[in-house]
Amino acid sequence: MSKYFDEIDPIKFEGRDSENPLAFKYYDSSKILMGKSMEEHLRFAVCYWHNFCWDGFDIFGSGTFNRPWHGVTNDQAAAEAKLEAAFSFFNKLGNPYFCFHDTDVMAAAETPKEHVENFAAIVDKIEEKMSGIKDKASLGYSEYVFTSALHGRRFNKSKSGCCCFCCFASQALSRSDSSIGW
């Protein structure tokens, strides 16, 4: 799948006395509580942005996370490398759910049209990764209109901002049979 986490064994429940720093101490996905497994009760989702996009930047200085998939440019190749790392991580963690914003998973875009095209391209890759495995997108939504408004792009204050939103809604409805949530 990916070379990023090859040297790490899948994370398993080993109990609270385990000295393995990469083991679940209390979470045993198969343990039955009140008629359901812990996995059914606790539907954890890996947050794509925090784990794969954030570079560690905070108010005290520049980012400290030098991740191999953080490239100089956020093009389609970089988006796909990040996707490979993410699914490798999900697999090692054994966590079937993840959540994301559109801009987390896709190549950078300058226009609404390019945004939709780039997002559609990476969603196709996500769906390929998800087919036949238990990973599920628990939440995905568009951040383009919000971030554009935040940064004062003109089209959000006009008819084209509404068109942009309607375009994303249309894309979401056209994929309503998929497991990608919007």
Catalytically active residues are 101, 104
The CB density around residue 14, as the number of other CB atoms within 10 Å, is 14
Dihedral, CA atoms, 26, 23, 43, 103, nearest 10 degrees? Answer: 140
16 Cβ contact partners less than 8 Å away, ≥ 6 residues apart: 25, 26
78 Cβ contact partners less than 8 Å away, ≥ 6 residues apart: 69, 70, 71, 107
61 secondary structure, DSSP code:
B
CA 164: distance to chain centroid? 22
